[in-house]
Structure 1
Amino acid sequence: MSAGQVSVALPDLDAVGAFGKRIARVLRPGDVVALSGGLGAGKTTLARAILASLGHPGEVPSPTFTIIESYDAPPLAMPAVHADFYRLEDPAEIAEIGLDDYREGAVLIAEWPECAGGFAHEPACLDITLKPRAKDAEEGRIAIVKGGSDWLGRMP
């Protein structure tokens, strides 16, 4: 059973920030926020908005080259891991990275989840696909949001 699917219009950066705040308010340790979409779709922007809403006070570097960045509580409301799996060549590499150790008791914000084998099978996964509203992102974005069974009653 899933929590269903909703579409969220994100016409500008303020809307992305507000959506990140809505997500952060309902997150629990162990949740996964899986962010999909093409290059420039807004995955890192949304991840930054979520982390800021959890209480991260500074810059949030893109983990494209480090693959994983971890953020501790405090200052965050709960520990969080921001991962970018774009550079993985094989999903088996997540075991080599030690992803399970990072995830323990934390929220995982995963960009390019398909490169890590995906997380949609997990009940605590909030799967978000970002798409441009028009031919380019100048017209804003649409977020297609699907929640696993743990998201029943708390979809952002």
Structure 2
Amino acid sequence: MGRRAIHLADGEATRAWGRAVAAHVRAGDLIVLTGELGAGKTTFTRGLGEGLGVRGAVTSPTFVIARRHPAGDRGIDLLHVDAYRLHGPSEIEDLDLDLVGAVTVVEWGAGRVDHLADNRLEITLVTADAGREAIVTGHGARWDGAAVEALLPPGHEGTVS
């Protein structure tokens, strides 16, 4: 398991980091986002969508629970899920999500979607005095220490938390 903490100065830095992370993900990857309201979960996902080149604007799926953003030139869809109002793994299963053909991002997914993939990337966004911290934890062989290290912004050493 790889784990790093990354300082992100503001929303634009969070979005830019999402764009950079897009270069390291592939169809079938699961990213679980955790953080309080306004911590930057959707901002990160917008950047990820921009980096993947999906068509259309990435918006919060709060009221629709799951939204698929079709692939652009790169050919990878983004499946964006908001699990806030779901009460457990069975309700996630009821959505019948196609995780294989897309990069799947689940906001509020901790403890609700862990069973979907042994290999997953968990990102916890915490607001701080100066921006926010992203605590990145990789699970499974796909997200070992080296894979998590590759997600660090250029010139950023990160810290082990």
> CA distance change for structure 1 residues 105 and 43 in 2, over 3 Å: closer, same or farther?
same
Q: 1 CA distance for matches of 2:115 and 2:47?
A: 22
Q: Any stretches of 5+ residues in structure 1 without a counterpart? A: none
Please give the per-residue CA displacement for 1:110-147, whole angstroms capped at 9, x wherever unaligned. 100036x232883421100000113xxxx310000011
TM-score w.r.t. the length of structure 2 is 0.83
Partner residue in 1 for 2:147: 154
Partner residue in 2 for 1:103: 99
Matching residue's letter, 1:104: V
- Do 1:32 and 1:119's aligned partners in 2 also have CA atoms closer than 8 Å? no
Q: Which of 121, 125, 144 is 1:126 aligned to?
A: 121
Q: Does 1:48 align with 2:43?
A: no
- Do 2:92 and 2:113's aligned partners in 1 also have CA atoms closer than 8 Å? no
Q: 2 CA distance for matches of 1:76 and 1:64?
A: 26
1:84: how far off? 0.4
Structure 1 outlier segments of 4+, above 4 Å: none
Q: Any stretches of 5+ residues in structure 2 without a counterpart? A: 152-161
Matching residue's letter, 2:76: M
Percent of counterpart pairs with the same letter? 37
TM-score w.r.t. the length of structure 1 is 0.85
The root-mean-square deviation of aligned C-alpha atoms, in Å, is 1.9
Q: How does 1:70-89 map to 2 (within 5 A)?
A: 70-89=68-87
Please give the per-residue CA displacement for 1:72-122, whole angstroms capped at 9, x wherever unaligned. 2234531220000011123211121112xx21221101100036x232883
How many pairs are equivalent? Answer: 147
